[in-house]
Amino acid sequence: MSYTIKDVAKQANVSTATVSRVLNGLSGYSKETEEKVLRAIKELGYMPNAFARGLVSNKSNTLGILFPEVSSQFSSKILRGVEEAAHELGSSVIVCNTASQGQRTMKYLELLSEKRVDGILFVSEKITEEYYKQLKSMKVPVVLVSTESYQYPLPFVKVDDKHAAFTATDYLVKMGHRKIGMIGGNIEDVIAGQPRVEGYKQALANHELSIKEENIKHSKGFSFKDGFNSFPDLIKSAPDLTAVFAASDSLALGAVSSAYRLGIKIPDQLSIIGYDNLPIAEMAIPPLTTVAQPLEQMGKVAAEMLFTMMSKGIIVESRIMPHSVVERESVKRI
Amino acid sequence: MSYTIKDVAKQANVSTATVSRVLNGLSGYSKETEEKVLRAIKELGYMPNAFARGLVSNKSNTLGILFPEVSSQFSSKILRGVEEAAHELGSSVIVCNTASQGQRTMKYLELLSEKRVDGILFVSEKITEEYYKQLKSMKVPVVLVSTESYQYPLPFVKVDDKHAAFTATDYLVKMGHRKIGMIGGNIEDVIAGQPRVEGYKQALANHELSIKEENIKHSKGFSFKDGFNSFPDLIKSAPDLTAVFAASDSLALGAVSSAYRLGIKIPDQLSIIGYDNLPIAEMAIPPLTTVAQPLEQMGKVAAEMLFTMMSKGIIVESRIMPHSVVERESVKRI
């Protein structure tokens, strides 16, 4: 036979609310009451049941996190930070791989709603009207990670993309480069695509260097393959470049791989700087100089924001995380 | 006011069990009954509550998965496969990062127990007596991934480590190499450490090549840093090697990076083969030849085994997944 919280309350001669308070480590009862409850639990062999506790507290101690691609290094670093913060705060994390598909994302949001998650982290993707309506109806806190929404009032955690791209390009100029190209991601992406190109242009303008459209290649996305495929085109249309800013580490490593095939030596013949500082940046040959986003820290901060919103019922401010150049060996001073 | 399943049952004039069957998409009721229940749900504005459904069905439609390091490419590929299978089967996945710490692992197992997960996947780590006792007390199916237990009867999904190491070494011999070294992981690890060394030795023996202990370096673990640090020692004690088998891709890439520093050209002066086929293998310079483990598929198969055990209440057989050499550019025929 399986006992419920009611049986425990009866046995201990207290209310179910008191049993719940003891189980959840809240205050508002005497040491004596606590002992009575714990004794009753022991006598009955009662096991706290997450379902029953959830019904009483209406809390699941669970967060949901949605990634476009859960297996990327980018996602897994963020997940690491989220998981760490959640663990410290006694919560667990349900991961959802949306594959950037609207229908799949909606299905996940409904699932998370049914599971009564206490909050949601939404990573790297655009919030559509459909998503927002569903999120709003769930009445739980939401924090965006590495993205933001111009349409909807949701707090976010990210670096300043334009500023970080500016810093990368500015670094190349300070290393003596004047002919600097760029491999961008999707230019229709207003959150991560456009601002990085704008930051690159801003840095050139600040140093009174001319901005030439043939020095910029826009890819479909931010992947290794995109970089691998874009690099030959860039070099063909702008053969005199001495340095390239790639809008992600994956793009940069694709470019480095393509350069290796073409017999172009990095950094002797061409310098390349990336963006992200994924673990692969350090493992690359040559080790990749890049602008670091503190991904693990971003995950941690996002989870903590969610917990603040959950416990205090307030909306927290968005956070702009610091970025920094990590100097390795893919950029040469000229 | 919030309605419960009892209110729905009363309104529809059926039993709560029937409402539950309808909600869970089971059989055993007429079309007419289904309509009555759905109408009652609509009239009351009843929202199915995962807690309440859990209390009725004693199912949470949730799996727990424990990783030693959730942010590694190895883990994230497995997670991708697990998540995919779980999604298709209507379940969600709680991820736990144990950091290989016993206390933390136990805390997670207790948490998963309280959350009434329907099953547990345990990845890459040794099952201790303490873990096993806790797992057994939870009375849910458990599947091991990329590990196995000699002590406890738990089904697993993995490749045959010894056989895969044999295949890697045998490939080097077939490419003309006779002086073949090895960078191993932790030799005290009976699941992944020892069998890979045994497979290497077995391949040499099969080709009547002598086995020399100075041609083998054992690292503390399987990381990039371990490979980076072990490589110079190996080359010092065995300068005439023409090829090296590294017991993980991370070890191999650490060795390649170290070779780059030492001015040793891969594969012109030395061939290197890895083990795993992580995404970074393809991105490396030169692209890494390696023995592939089908990690994503392993995750998928493990989740499916768990679902079979959950739904049929049987123990399933362990699975040995196929491995294969992926030829890229880090091994030269001599």
| Burial grade of A59 (CB within 10 A; 0-12, 13-18, 19 or more) | middle
Query: With an 8 Å Cβ cutoff, are B55 and A51 in contact?
Result: yes
A20 within some domain: yes
B288 within some domain: yes
User: What span, in angstroms and rounded, lies between the C-alpha atoms of B293 and B160?
Assistant: 10
B21 within some domain: yes
Neighbours of A159 (CB within 10 A): 24
Distance from CA of A207 to the nearest CA of B (A): 34
Domain boundary among A42, A57, A72: A57
Residues B167 and B228 in one domain: yes
**Tens digit of pLDDT for each residue in A57-105?**
667 889 999 999 988 899 999 999 999 999 988 899 999 999 889 999 9
Predicted local distance difference test score (pLDDT) of residue B46 = 65
Residues A193 and A206 in one domain: yes
Predicted local distance difference test score (pLDDT) of residue A1 = 45
CATH code assigned at B48: 1.10.260.40
Residues B281 and B178 in one domain: yes
Residues B221 and B245 in one domain: yes
**Tens digit of pLDDT for each residue in A195-210?**
999 999 999 999 999 9
Element holding A271 (H helix, E strand): strand A271-276
Interface test with A, best of B46, B76, B89, B113 (most A CBs within 10 A): B76
Q: How many domains does chain A have?
A: 3
Give me the mean pLDDT over the B267-282 stretch: 96
* Side-chain-side CA neighbours of residue A31 (13 Å): 0
Q: Which residues of chain A make contact with B55, given a CB cutoff of 8 A?
A: 49, 51-52, 55
The set of residues, in sequence order, having a beta carbon less than 8 Å from that of B67 and lying 6+ positions away, is B75, B78, B79, B95, B96, B97, B98, B123, B124
Domain boundary among B24, B41, B57: B57
- List C-alpha distances in Å: B192 to A59, A178, B196, B197: 41, 51, 6, 9
Residues B183 and B278 in one domain: yes
Report the complex ipTM: 0.70
Query: With an 8 Å Cβ cutoff, are A260 and B285 in contact?
Result: yes
Query: With an 8 Å Cβ cutoff, are A97 and B115 in contact?
Result: no
Residues B167 and B117 in one domain: no
B330 within some domain: no
**Tens digit of pLDDT for each residue in A154-170?**
999 999 999 999 999 99
Domain boundary among B36, B57, B78: B57
Query: With an 8 Å Cβ cutoff, are A51 and B116 in contact?
Result: yes
Query: With an 8 Å Cβ cutoff, are B97 and A80 in contact?
Result: yes
Closest CB to A70: pick one of B80, B260, B285: B80
Predicted local distance difference test score (pLDDT) of residue B141 = 95
A334 within some domain: no
Interface test with B, best of A76, A262, A330 (most B CBs within 10 A): A76
> Dmax over Cα atoms in chain A, in whole Å?
84
Q: Which residues of chain B make contact with A115, given a CB cutoff of 8 A?
A: 50, 62, 92
Percent of chain B with pLDDT over 70: 93
Predicted local distance difference test score (pLDDT) of residue B34 = 81
Q: Which residues of chain A make contact with B79, given a CB cutoff of 8 A?
A: 70-71, 95
Q: Which residues of chain A make contact with B295, given a CB cutoff of 8 A?
A: none
Please choose, from the candidates A4, A57, A9, the residue with its C-alpha nearest in 3D space to the C-alpha of residue A36. Answer: A9
A328 within some domain: no
Residues A135 and A45 in one domain: no
Residue B137 near residue B130 (C-beta atoms within 8 A) = no
Question: In which domain, by residue range, is A169 found?
Answer: 161-293
Asked if the model's pLDDT at residue A274 lies above 70, the reply is yes
Q: Which residues of chain A make contact with B260, given a CB cutoff of 8 A?
A: 285-286
Residues B255 and B288 in one domain: yes
Residue A289 near residue A82 (C-beta atoms within 8 A) = no
Residues B261 and B244 in one domain: yes
Banded model confidence at residue B1, pLDDT cuts 50, 70, 90: very low
Q: Which residues of chain B make contact with A285, given a CB cutoff of 8 A?
A: 256-257, 260, 284-285
Residues B213 and B89 in one domain: no
Neighbours of B192 (CB within 10 A): 21
pTM above threshold 0.90: no
Residues A195 and A245 in one domain: yes
Supply the mean pLDDT for chain A.
90
Query: With an 8 Å Cβ cutoff, are A94 and B96 in contact?
Result: no
CATH code assigned at B139: 3.40.50.2300
Banded model confidence at residue B226, pLDDT cuts 50, 70, 90: very high
Residues A114 and A258 in one domain: no
Asked if the model's pLDDT at residue A11 lies above 60, the reply is yes
Distance from CA of A326 to the nearest CA of B (A): 18
